[in-house]
Chain A
Amino acid sequence: MKGINRRSIFAIAALIYVSTGSILAADGNHIDTGVTAWMLTSTALVLLMVPGLAMFYGGLVRTKNVLGTMMHSFAAMGIMAVLWVVVGYSMSFGSNVLGGWFGWNSDYFLLKGIDQNIMDAGVPEYVFSMFQGKFAILTPALIAGAFAERITFKGYLVFIAVWGLLVYNPLCHWVWASDGFLFNMGAAGAIDFAGGTVVHIASGISGLVAALYLGPRRGHSKSAAAPSNLVMTMIGAGLLWVGWFGFNAGSSINSGLLTAQALTATQTAAAAGAMTWIIIESLHQGKATALGFASGILAGLVAVTPAAGVVQPAGALALGAIASGVCYTAIMVKNRLGYDDSLDAFGIHGMGGIVGSLILVFFIRESWMQNAAASAGGAWTVWQQFGVQAVAVAIAIGYAALLTFMIIFAINNTIGFRSSTEAEMFGMDHTYHGEQGYGMLNPR
């Protein structure tokens, strides 16, 4: 280890644990089995979110598109994992190149130089790399919700590959690499514990741009596309909630106090989000829907993602509740405006990520603010941190929107991204995969 590749949290963890001196391996060569075991578990939990997302999205589309939609998530597991091992980890966690646009470290190419590495946190670097790789899988898969039911499979594969290289990896580098410029902004950096900007704002905004550019599904304004299987959607939402413990609590790269804080905030915000959503829905539409509960879970989880390391339970309750209110409103506005963000990738991930990343400043625990003030050399106010957060959010929005537009424009005008009308009517399952998801619908 050259000591240059640390996620934001190492610094915080070091501050918290330096007094006990027992958690961090002093020379970086001893494996801490406790931390490693939890990080292995977290890695598996985050991977579980991908089939969870496949089920969540798959249940929401029409019968004829269920496999095609689930394949969007599964294809990301293939293509993004390959790219991550080859160049993704290097681009994200290497040292600044090209003026800090992304990182590079030839040791990380094909992960060939980390075979024996134990990081300062006491974790083999392979584990950290694989853990981070799961985020690179999940993020492009989230975008697929915005343009579900109307894109070619080939166009999608090329899109997520290029998007991963040009959007995800640079953003990840800026926010989480120790020499990333957002990591070092202000007194103690932009706060993005587990991916509010990198994962949720990036995917949500990209989804919105894609949905606007590609246009609505055929017949979108006239008829609602009935979900093929809400039971599957509920199972998917449940798996996402469970997996999110790895996503957030695992992002502590630790197995201790900070992990417990993140885990508690995650559970609290998810529950608050779900309850708030069905209360709003009951008052507004008269019924509490299962899909509403699932949407509330996600809104809460998304909002607490950037905040899990810095908020206490009261703050997490507030974040979950506020996020549900904002996301619910965003979906109402979407219906009014009429654009087709099919499965609300922007409405929930984009808006939830923005709200969480900004509002979290009002709920930061005092010890964090004191540390920030110390490193700022005296005083550091909530509003100063709000400014840092706002800049990080604006950069994530601007960069993701611009690059996504360029990538989609290029793909749609070369190999084609938007499905033909005929393909859309037949369904993606038949057109691109030659299969049908629900075999029992017809006698065979």
Chain B
Amino acid sequence: MKLITAIIRENKLDHVREALIESEITRITVSRVSGHGQQIREEIYRGKIVIPELIPKIKLEIAVNDSFVKTTVDTIIKSARSNSKGEVGDGKIFISPLDECIRIRTGETGGSAI
């Protein structure tokens, strides 16, 4: 089991979510986050160009069985890229091992709980 964490652009959430559902990945958690990477985003505030220190992004967390990792990652990459080449600021995907998964309702554990 793996935990896939993806940081994506705010405006790509609908694309990514719809693409994941199409690939039958339907169990996801979404949150608003802020952070900084390579991207520099200029904003105009009262006529002055300012560079906010933290840029808003969306974080997706998806727990999957090993056989679904590739589909999930490919789907996110495809749907979260700004255009065919991609742009700085499109985000990142982290994959980490997942020790256990427990469904609260039934208490079942492991791959079948995902």
Contacts and interface: CB of A to CB of B under 8 A. Distances in A.
Interface stretch (B9-17, B67-75, B92-100, B106-114): B9-17
Interface in B20-53: 32-34, 43-44, 52-53
Contact of B15 (A425, A441, A444): A425
Contact of B11 (A219, A422, A434, A436): A422
Given A442-B32, A442-B33, A218 B14 contact: yes
B53 A444 contact: yes
B30 to A, nearest CB: 13
Contacts of B44: 434
Interface string A396-439: 00000000000000000000000000100111001000101000
Contact of B56 (A218, A219, A422, A442): A442
A425 B14 CA distance: 7
A427 B33 CA distance: 18
Interface residues of B, number: 14
B102 interface: no
Contact-residue bracket for chain A: 10 to 19
A443 interface: yes
A442 B34 CA distance: 6
Contact of B10 (A219, A426, A434, A444): A426
A50 B32 CA distance: 32
Contacts of B10: 64, 426
Contacts of A434: 43-44
Contacts of B11: 422, 425-427, 430
A441 B58 CA distance: 12
Nearest to A441: B32
Contacts of B52: 444
Given A218-B14, A425-B14, A434-B43, A444 B32 contact: no
A222 to B, nearest CB: 9
Nearest to B18: A219
Given A218-B14, A426-B11, A443 B54 contact: yes
Interface of A: 64, 218-219, 422, 425-427, 430, 434, 436, 441-444
14 contacts: A218-B14, A219-B14, A425-B12, A427-B11, A434-B43, A434-B44, A436-B56, A441-B56, A442-B34, A442-B54, A443-B54, A444-B34, A444-B54, A444-B56
